[in-house]
C-alpha cells in the first residue's frame, strides 16, 4: 500500500511538472524563418495555438497540485491528465506540421508591409525563395517543450488509468487452506451417553443352583426325607 501511494505521488508531481513545461514552452519561440537581411520568429502565444496549449498546461498543473495535496484526488487524475496532455501535444504536433506554411505567410505579410506590394505577390516571391533554399525555416525549443510536456501528461494519465484499485475479493470459506484440500465440515458433538438398556438378559450373570444328590427326594416342609421299608 505504501508503494502504491509513493507511485501515486510521483505521478501527480510528474503531471504538475508537465503543465509547467507546457506553459513555459507556449510563451517561448516556436519557429523561426530567416532570409538574407530578414528574420521572422513566431511565439506560441502569438496565435490561438499557444493559447490552447497554455490551457492544456494549466489543466495539468491544477490536476497535479490537487493530487499532491489531496490523496483522494489521485483517483481523479486520469481524465485531466489525458485531456490536458492531449490538447498540448495535439496542437503542438499540428503546428509542427503546418509551421512552414504559416511562416511563409508571416514573411510574405512582412514583405508586403515594408515594400507596399500585394500579399499574393509577396507570397509567391517568398515561396520561390523557399524552393531555392534561400529561406530557412526551423522549429525552436518552445514547440518541442510543448509537445514533450503534452506526451508526458498523457503518459501520466494512462499510468493512473492502469493503476485502478482491484475489486475486493470475497473471503475464503472457513477451513480453506493454502494446500487446496477442503477441510472436513465440523461434526456435531455426540449426544450425552444414556444408561444402557439390557434388551437380552445375560444368562451367564444368573447363578444356577447345583443339582440334588442321587436318591434324594423332594424336600418337604423342611424335614429329612423318609425311607420306605
pLDDT of residue 111: 81
Residue 25 within a domain: yes
In a domain, 109, yes or no: no
| Nine cell digits for residue 93 | 504536433
pTM: 0.62
pLDDT confidence tier of residue 3, bands split at 50, 70 and 90: very low
Q: Print the domain residue range for 27.
A: 2-32+41-96+137-162
- Helical (H) or strand (E) element with 42: strand 38-43
Q: How confident is the model at residue 196 (pLDDT cuts 50, 70, 90)?
A: low
> For residue 8, is it within any domain?
yes
User: With 60 as the cut, is the pLDDT of residue 72 above it?
Assistant: yes
What is the domain count for the chain?
Answer: 1
The C-alpha atoms of residue 206 and residue 185 are separated, in whole angstroms, by 47
Alpha helices in the chain (DSSP H): 2-27, 48-69, 78-115, 119-132, 141-162
Q: What angle (nearest 5°) sits at the alpha carbon of residue 41, between those of residues 35 and 45?
A: 165
- pLDDT at 1 (0 to 100): 45
Is residue 221 included in any domain, yes or no? no
Model confidence at 141, pLDDT cuts 50, 70, 90, reads very high
Average pLDDT of 10-39? 86
Is 75 inside any structural domain? yes
Would residue 212 count as lying in a domain? no
Beta bridge partners of 176: none
Amino acid at each position: 500500500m505504501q508503494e502504491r501511494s509513493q507511485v501515486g505521488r510521483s505521478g501527480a508531481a510528474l503531471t504538475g511538472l508537465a503543465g509547467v513545461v507546457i506553459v513555459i514552452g507556449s510563451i517561448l519561440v516556436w519557429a523561426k524563418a530567416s532570409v538574407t537581411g530578414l528574420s521572422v520568429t513566431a511565439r506560441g502565444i502569438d496565435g490561438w495555438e499557444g493559447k490552447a496549449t497554455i490551457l492544456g498546461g494549466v489543466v495539468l498543473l491544477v490536476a497535479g497540485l490537487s493530487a499532491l495535496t489531496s490523496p483522494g484526488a489521485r483517483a481523479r487524475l486520469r481524465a485531466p491528465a489525458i485531456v490536458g496532455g492531449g490538447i498540448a501535444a495535439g496542437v503542438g504536433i499540428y503546428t509542427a506540421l503546418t509551421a512552414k506554411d504559416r511562416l511563409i505567410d508571416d514573411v510574405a505579410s512582412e514583405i508586403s508591409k515594408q515594400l507596399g506590394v500585394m500579399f499574393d505577390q509577396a507570397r509567391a516571391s517568398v515561396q520561390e525563395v523557399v524552393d531555392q533554399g534561400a529561406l530557412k525555416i526551423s522549429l525552436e525549443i518552445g514547440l518541442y517543450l510543448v509537445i514533450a510536456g503534452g506526451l508526458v501528461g498523457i503518459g501520466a494519465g494512462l499510468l493512473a488509468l492502469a493503476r485502478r484499485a482491484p475489486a475486493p475479493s470475497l473471503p475464503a470459506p472457513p477451513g480453506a487452506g493454502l494446500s487446496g484440500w477442503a477441510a472436513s465440515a465440523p461434526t456435531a458433538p455426540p449426544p450425552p451417553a444414556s444408561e444402557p438398556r439390557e434388551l437380552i438378559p445375560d444368562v451367564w450373570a444368573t447363578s444356577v443352583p447345583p443339582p440334588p444328590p442321587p436318591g434324594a427326594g423332594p424336600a418337604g416342609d423342611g424335614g429329612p426325607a423318609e425311607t420306605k421299608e
